[in-house]
Amino acid sequence: MTRPIIGQVESGQRRSPGAPDPERNGQQAGTAPVPGTARIAVDLLGGDQAPAVVVDGALRACQTDPALTLLLVGPVEAVGTVLAALPPDEHHRVRSLPGPYPRDTTRAAVHAVAEGLADAVVSAGDTGAIVTSAALAMGRWPGVRRPPLAAVLPSAAGRRLLLDVGSSVDPDERTLAMHAHLGSAYAASVHGVAAPRVGLLTIGTEPGKGDRLRRAAPELLAGLDLPAGARYVGLVEGDDVVSGAVADVVVTDGFSGNILLKALEMAYATIGAPGPGEPPPRAAVLLGVGGTVVVCHGAASGRDIAAGIGLAANLHRRGAIPVIAGLIQGKEIPRTQEVVHEQ
């Protein structure tokens, strides 16, 4: 299912986030959010150590951000634990949604955003379930066949964007081209990068290096009209990701991207992250769907969950997803003839 890009729908179809949907037969869909607030649906059963670490993360997020409200999707006893740890005058900031799917909290949390009950969703559950639920409930943007997960990594030169990190493990070159569009728009709108540089991750910078996909994609990437003045700068290697000197956005498949992400995160946790400032949240943003979706690691800690909630709230308050959608609106990926390479 493909729906219009947020902010690009016809005026007669547009409704504010959280406003009742007239097609839901009068079912309550919440109230429009107050500017500055953020309503985050949190999957209580997502993650290897859920719900304990999710409860911990929810509490940390509430204590850090007084304008935050949470819709906790899952067991009511876990919600009670959060309420018991908050002052009575702050209980209004936490609501419970047992959901029509008592065990499928991931799907219920995603649907809460699609139905206007929340502004964004955070889950550390199964990646495939999150991506599928979001694509079905929120719709994919035109031209996006496989929504990628984008993760922010620290580098010696500042924050860099890596995508995909686990959503599509076996894409074709056209999928990588859409990743380049989405990554460029994210780097420009969220990181404030002027004319982002986009690189393709491979095993060497000489032309023809890598597998079939890496040999076929450069010609297509080089011819793209990328948003925000972005440009394709060529092939990059793993060390270029750490230095950050070559590219602001690194595009790859979800298989190699996930391996690189986890290896770097473990290395940085052991020896320290490069670059200035605090390390970015250990979470990824699902791009190309009609809503704000943040995915945390299955092995996420309470701090990681809190950071993921903070990231979701920040993206919502900045209106990042509609801005990204607008930047890629009308960006076409040209058809290319199949390229046959000698092995």
Q: How high is the pLDDT of residue 103?
A: 62
Digit-coded pLDDT (tens) for 15-28: 333 333 323 322 23
CA distances from 67 to 36, 53, 63, 178, 315 (A): 7, 22, 10, 35, 14
Distance, CA of 322 to chain centre? 13
SS3 assignment for the chain: CECCCCCCCCCCCCCCCCCCCHHHCCCCCCCCCCCCCEEEEEECCCCCCCCHHHHHHHHHHHHHCCCEEEEEECCHHHHHHHHHHCCHHHHHHEEEECCCCCCCHHHHHHHHHHCCCCCEEEECCCHHHHHHHHHHHHCECCCCCCCCEEEEEEECCEEEEEECCCCCCCCCHHHHHHHHHHHHHHHHHCCCCCCCEEEEECCCCCCCCCCHHHHHHHHHHHCCCCHHHCEEEEEECHHHHHHCCCCCEEECCHHHHHHHHHHHHHHHHHHCCCCCCCCCCCEEEECCECCEEEEECCCCCHHHHHHHHHHHHHHHHCCHHHHHHHHHCCCCCCCCCCCCCCC
Contact 254, 248 (CB under 8 A): no
Q: Mean pLDDT for each 10-residue chunk of the chain (343 residues)?
A: 34 32 31 71 91 94 93 89 90 82 81 94 94 95 94 94 94 95 97 96 88 92 95 96 96 96 93 86 95 94 95 95 93 62 39
Q: Which residue has the tokens 């955003």?
A: 113
Q: How high is the pLDDT of residue 1?
A: 38
Contact 154, 327 (CB under 8 A): no
Q: How high is the pLDDT of residue 34?
A: 52
Q: How high is the pLDDT of residue 6?
A: 36
Contact 232, 222 (CB under 8 A): yes
**How far apart (Å, rounded) are the C-alpha atoms in residues 94 and 74?**
13
Q: How high is the pLDDT of residue 183?
A: 98
Q: How high is the pLDDT of residue 335?
A: 72
Q: How high is the pLDDT of residue 331?
A: 79
**How far apart (Å, rounded) are the C-alpha atoms in residues 305 and 313?**
12
Q: How high is the pLDDT of residue 150?
A: 98
- How many other C-beta atoms lie within 10 A of the C-beta of residue 109? 33
**How far apart (Å, rounded) are the C-alpha atoms in residues 248 and 245?**
8
Asked if the peptide bond before residue 164 counts as cis, ω within 30 degrees of 0, the response is yes
- The crossing angle, in degrees rounded to 10, of helices 320-328 and 173-189 is 130
Question: Rounded to 5 degrees, what are φ and ψ at 159?
Answer: -75, 140
Sequence-distant (6+) residues with CB within 8 A of 211 are: none
Partnered with residue 197 across adjacent β-strands are 231
